[in-house]
Amino acid sequence: MIQVDLVSLVETLRIRGCEACHEILAGPHGYQEGLDLDEDFFPLWELNLPENQEALERLDFEAIKARRGPSWSVKPPALGAS
């Protein structure tokens, strides 16, 4: 699995004119590190999912969001859950 470098990703997005920042959210399930992009938050665990790698390489965050199910949460899925 490829680990996403959020600092480099944010820099790339800002160069392209996007409003992006490396964010750590505090919530009822602990802290979640991720990417704040415009009005959306992409947790690091979601960006690191193998099924999101191609979309991430294309910087296609709409494709990543499209994979989210109706019960999607910032909280990482339980181990073994699909």
Q: pLDDT by residue (tens digit) across 54-73?
A: 999 999 999 999 999 999 98
Mean pLDDT to the nearest integer, 5-27 = 94
Does the pLDDT at position 24 exceed 90? yes
Q: Quickly state the pLDDT bin for 81 (edges 50, 70, 90).
A: low
What pLDDT is recorded for position 28? 76
What pLDDT is recorded for position 76? 86
- Is the separation of the CB atoms in 47 and 64 below 8 Å? yes
